[in-house]
């Protein structure tokens, strides 16, 4: 235990040097491999990493508590891993394999790194906003009476100054303000450099004003204690003025050039043959360089003091910490240093300067002056190090079946069905219902979450009654806010929806409390938040995304809202199982599956029936529609339920000599059924395949192929079993309200001639009938395509194309 602040600072100072060295050596080591193998050198982001060495040292070795959660700026990954290594949470092997296969990741990764990364980073801006939403989710969890046995954590983001250009950060700020954000620290690494350039002058003032505007405390950490002391010397004020007026470019350049250059420039600009000259001349070149780079973000006492003060309250706080990109390295300050890599000679010089003997580069305390026992004792008592990896992730039981609204023979849309299923869940006072949390970016009512919200209420830390209700003004919706509410209403920004889903969907890992998040939005706006969606999946957050309305089927809503490519997004997005049911009973089965699937975390071999890795679980995307569709009359037995989840079932089984199969997905079901009727008399044994998930059907098929290639010759996927009895001459017409490529692969499953219909152009408004005709996905269009593809006899019910 460090007895005094001075002793603690001395230890932290040693650790900072160590961390800087280990990170530099990690990168050097990794890049050497690349240089040898391929004769090229990739950037290791040494400079970007070094910029945060002091701040991360202060945080991880002293300030952070086990319950705190951190998003570390992507390029500071080597510093982060070095710290974990010193804390005994990262293996040497992983460090030695930095950026290599199964080694420590280039950017901190929750799923791929093994040293307890809280939030992944990589796509700049997203990790930052993630901390804000995770703080809101922590409040949500605690307001519902959960996680009370654990201390409240602080959500901390290490932010690059150029990272602040990302718009999603500002969208999040606004949302945080609306929800009374607490317990959040954003620490801006104000090194005044981006990837390409040096940032604009005075940027910090814009940041300060913005954060203050949103109710944050702003703490500016510009000078370290050495500089502050120098300012108190005679002539010191002039030095301060000079620094304050120094352009960022010049400051960076002088940092790069070092002590002699500082001296020359300062004497040229300030030399007075009096106190200022004396102040400069009292210092050697090395001391002068040390003084001039003693910025707030590189000064442990300044940082510790600021964090300690901010730790006394729960107000969101933005620290603007002045730093030098490449601090402590020969790359420091150079504007081209972003991907810069130290030369072997420079690394060698750093090794010598750090007192590290050749061959002892990885030794934990090599080159440090304090006794190993002192360092051991200190590290063993670091508060953060007592954190146990992996909170329990309780499983919430899902009912055996959910409600199946809709009447056979009557019309209902999947979107309406979704609203009614949730409404039925909301009636039940079950643990399952209480763990569901819904969220929507200002489309709660228009995506049919209204009935659920009426029953379960909106969430806010402070209760607020619906004034319209209080005033007895008739309204369909009851918008009471309370800490017990289960709907988080967001502003329109879709990035925020996905980051909120990401935060809600990580609650089991962050708060040890499982939530079952359901987010709704209009399908086309998936693109607006696609990077955040990808990010949420990358860090394995678990949620159900309900996208509705979709396709051109939202016809009168207008061309701007039509979505074509989203079924392909659903197929291609790793970690997301995409479904597009046509009927409400299918939706009910899928939704039940989804509530269970999002909770799974198994690891193991694929399911032999589907070849899907279902025990691993993931998130779920439901592409729904506002189109009322006649509901089938049937009971869903276990076999059919399984096929719905597996991705497809025969709505009409093809006969032994089938000439034709029509395979459809989603809202075009009535057209596919009608086309089957038109063709049935003239095409023998026609089959009609209902596809509920092109994504799962396709994934199972490719996985089974891979299994066979590995020697599991009997591997058969669901798609292959569905088609195994189809005669070779059978043709397949596929159709959906989305890009035709979604189902275009079906012909390759068993080698059948295929024509894929769908939508390739958007923007035209009209009725559903107009638009389906326009895109050739109406019954006649499907029948025409079928007739051309399987041209045995003329189809009597076919009309010529208009």
Ligand X SMILES: Cc1ncc(C[n+]2csc(CCOP(=O)(O)OP(=O)(O)O)c2C)c(N)n1
- Verify binding: residue 123, ligand X, rule CB under 6 A: yes
Q: Which CB, 124 or 672, lies closer to ligand X?
A: 124
CB atoms within 10 A of CB 467: 9
Q: How many residues does the chain have?
A: 802
Could you tell me which stretch among 86-94, 160-168, 560-568, 669-677 binds Mg ion (CB under 5 A)?
160-168
**Residue 623 partner contact from ligand X, Mg ion, none using kind-dependent CB cut-offs of 5 to 8 Å:** none
- Residue 124 touches which of Mg ion, ligand X, none (CB < 5 to 8 A by kind)? ligand X
Using rule CB under 5 A, residue 756 touches Mg ion: no
Where helices occur in 298-393 by DSSP H, the ranges are: 300-310, 344-353, 372-380
325 lines the binding site for ligand X (CB under 6 A): yes
State the burial class of residue 615 (Cβ atoms within 10 Å of its Cβ: 0-12, 13-18, 19+): middle
124 binds ligand X (CB under 6 A): yes
Question: Cβ closer to ligand X: 77 or 191?
Answer: 191
Nearest to 726 by CA among 700, 704, 701, 754: 754
Work out which of 160, 316, 451, 575 binds Mg ion, going by CB under 5 A. Answer: 160
Q: What is the DSSP letter of 12?
A: H
CB of 771 to ligand X, least distance (A): 35
Burial class (CB in 10 A: 0-12, 13-18, 19+), 123: middle
Helix axes 694-709, 638-646, angle to 10 degrees: 80
- Which span sits near ligand X by CB under 6 A: 190-198, 213-221, 767-775, 782-790? 190-198
**84 sits near Mg ion (criterion: CB under 5 A):** no
For residue 650, what are the β-bridge partners? 689
For ligand X, which is the closer residue by CB, 162 or 777? Answer: 162
Contact yes or no for 735/754 (Cβ under 8 A): no
162 binds ligand X (CB under 6 A): yes
Under rule CB under 6 A, residue 248 binds ligand X: no
Using CB distances below 5 to 8 A depending on partner kind, what does residue 195 bind out of ligand X, Mg ion, none? ligand X
User: Could you say whether residue 424 binds ligand X (CB under 6 A)?
Assistant: no
The CB-of-216 to ligand X minimum distance in angstroms stands at: 19
Cβ–Cβ < 8 Å for 506, 134? yes
Compare residues 252 and 610 and give the one whose CB is closer to Mg ion. 252
For Mg ion, the closer CB: 203 or 736:
203
Q: Which DSSP letter does residue 341 get?
A: -
Residues 41-60 as x/- pattern, contact with ligand X by CB under 6 A: -------x--x---------
Planar angle of CA 30, 31, 35, nearest 5 degrees? 130
189 binds ligand X (CB under 6 A): yes
CA atoms within 13 A on the CB side of 87: 23
**Which does residue 48 bind out of Mg ion, ligand X, none, counting CB within 5 to 8 angstroms by kind?**
ligand X
CB 544 within 8 A of CB 519: yes
Question: How far is residue 603 CA from its own chain's centroid?
Answer: 21
Residue 31 binding Mg ion, by CB under 5 A: no
Of the candidate spans 159-167, 312-320, 491-499, 646-654, the one that interacts with ligand X by CB under 6 A turns out to be 159-167
**Residue 674: count of CB within 10 angstroms of its CB:** 17
Q: Segment near Mg ion (CB under 5 A), from 183-191, 232-240, 292-300, 421-429? A: 183-191
Distance of closest approach, residue 528 Cβ to ligand X, in angstroms? 15
* Residues facing 481 on adjacent strands: 458, 464
Regarding 75 and contact with ligand X (CB under 6 A), the answer is yes
Question: Is 514:394 a contact under the CB 8 Å cutoff?
Answer: yes
Among 90, 194, 548, 610, the residue binding ligand X under the rule CB under 6 A is: 194
Paired tokens of 592: 């039940």
Burial class (CB in 10 A: 0-12, 13-18, 19+), 282: exposed
DSSP 8-state symbol, 284: -
Tell me the H-state helices in 505-637: 507-510, 530-538, 566-572, 584-597
Regarding 659 and contact with ligand X (CB under 6 A), the answer is no
Give the x-and-dash track for 440-469 against Mg ion (CB under 5 A): ------------------------------
Q: Which residues bind Mg ion (CB under 5 A)?
A: 160-162, 191, 193
Residues of this chain that interact with ligand X (CB under 6 A) are 48, 51, 74-75, 123-124, 160-163, 189, 191, 193-195, 325, 338
């Amino acid at each position: 235990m460090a007895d005094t602040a001075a002793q603690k600072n001395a230890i932290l100072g040693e650790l900072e040097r160590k961390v800087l060295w280990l990170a530099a050596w990690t990168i050097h080591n990794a890049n050497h491999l690349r240089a040898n193998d391929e004769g090229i050198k990739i950037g290791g982001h040494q400079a970007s990493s070094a910029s945060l060495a002091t701040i991360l040292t202060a945080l991880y070795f002293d300030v952070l508590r086990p319950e705190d959660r951190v998003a570390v700026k992507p390029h500071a990954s080597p510093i982060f891993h070095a710290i974990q290594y010193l804390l005994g949470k990262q293996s040497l092997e992983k460090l030695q394999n930095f950026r290599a296969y199964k080694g420590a990741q280039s950017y901190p990764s929750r799923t791929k790194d093994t040293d307890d990364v809280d939030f992944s980073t990589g796509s700049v801006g997203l990790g930052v906003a993630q901390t804000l939403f995770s703080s809101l989710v922590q409040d949500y969890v605690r307001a519902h009476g959960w996680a009370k046995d654990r201390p409240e954590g602080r959500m901390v983001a290490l932010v690059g100054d150029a990272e602040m250009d990302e718009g999603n950060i500002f969208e999040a700020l606004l949302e945080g303000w609306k929800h009374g954000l607490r317990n959040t620290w954003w620490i801006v690494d104000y090194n005044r450099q981006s990837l390409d350039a040096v940032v604009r002058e005075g940027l910090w003032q814009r940041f300060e004003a913005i954060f203050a505007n949103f109710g944050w405390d702003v703490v500016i950490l510009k000078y370290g204690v050495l500089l502050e002391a120098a300012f108190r010397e005679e002539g010191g004020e002039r030095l301060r003025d000079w620094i304050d007026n120094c352009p960022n470019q010049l400051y960076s350049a002088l940092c790069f050039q070092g002590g002699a250059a500082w001296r020359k420039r300062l004497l040229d600009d300030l030399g007075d043959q009096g106190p200022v000259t004396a102040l400069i001349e009292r210092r050697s070149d090395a001391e002068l360089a040390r003084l001039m780079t003693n910025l707030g973000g590189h000064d442990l006492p300044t940082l510790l003091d600021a964090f300690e003060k901010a730790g006394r309250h729960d107000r969101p706080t933005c620290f603007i910490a002045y730093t030098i990109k490449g601090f402590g390295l020969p790359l420091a300050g150079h504007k081209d240093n972003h991907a810069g890599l130290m030369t072997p000679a420079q690394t060698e010089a750093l090794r010598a300067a750090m007192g590290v003997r050749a061959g002892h580069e990885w030794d934990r305390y090599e080159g440090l002056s304090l006794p190993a026992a002192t360092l051991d004792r200190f590290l063993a008592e670091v508060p953060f190090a007592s954190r146990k990896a992996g909170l329990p992730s309780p499983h919430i039981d899902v009912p055996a079946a959910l409600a199946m609204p809709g009447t056979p023979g009557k019309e209902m849309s999947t979107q309406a069905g979704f609203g009614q299923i949730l409404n039925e869940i909301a009636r039940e006072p079950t643990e399952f219902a209480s763990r569901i949390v819904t969220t929507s970016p200002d489309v709660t009512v228009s995506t049919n979450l209204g009935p659920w919200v009426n029953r379960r209420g909106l969430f806010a830390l402070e209760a607020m009654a619906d004034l319209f209700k209080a005033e007895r003004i008739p309204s369909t919706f009851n918008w009471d806010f309370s800490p017990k509410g289960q709907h988080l209403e967001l502003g329109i920004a879709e990035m925020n929806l996905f980051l909120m889903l990401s935060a809600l969907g990580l609650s089991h890992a962050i708060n040890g409390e499982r939530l079952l998040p359901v987010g709704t939005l209009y399908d086309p706006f998936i693109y607006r938040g696609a990077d955040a969606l990808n990010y949420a999946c990358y860090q394995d957050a678990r949620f159900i995304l309900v996208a509705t309305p979709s396709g051109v089927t939202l016809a009168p809503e207008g061309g701007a809202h039509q979505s074509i490519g989203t079924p392909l997004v659903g197929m291609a997005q790793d970690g997301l199982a995409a479904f597009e049911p046509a009927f409400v009973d299918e939706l009910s089965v899928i939704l039940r599956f989804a509530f269970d699937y999002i909770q799974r975390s198994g690891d193991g071999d694929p399911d032999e029936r589907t070849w899907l890795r279902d025990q691993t679980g993931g998130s779920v995307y439901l592409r729904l529609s506002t189109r009322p569709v006649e509901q089938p009359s049937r009971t869903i037995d276990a076999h059919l339920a399984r096929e719905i989840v597996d991705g497809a079932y025969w709505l009409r089984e093809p006969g032994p000599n089938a000439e034709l199969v029509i395979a459809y997905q989603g809202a075009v079901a009535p057209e596919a059924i009608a086309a089957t009727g038109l063709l049935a008399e003239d095409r023998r044994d026609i089959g009609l395949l209902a596809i509920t998930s092109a994504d799962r059907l396709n994934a199972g098929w490719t996985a089974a192929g891979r299994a066979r290639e590995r020697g599991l010759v009997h591997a058969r996927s669901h798609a292959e079993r569905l088609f195994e009895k189809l005669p070779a001459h059978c043709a397949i017409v596929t159709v959906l309200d989305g890009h035709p490529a979604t189902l275009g692969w079906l012909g390759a499953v068993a080698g059948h001639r295929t024509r894929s219909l769908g939508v390739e152009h958007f923007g035209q408004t009209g009725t559903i009938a107009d638009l389906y005709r326009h895109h050739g996905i109406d019954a006649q269009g499907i029948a025409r395509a079928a007739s051309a593809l399987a041209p045995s006899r003329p189809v009597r019910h076919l009309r010529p194309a208009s």
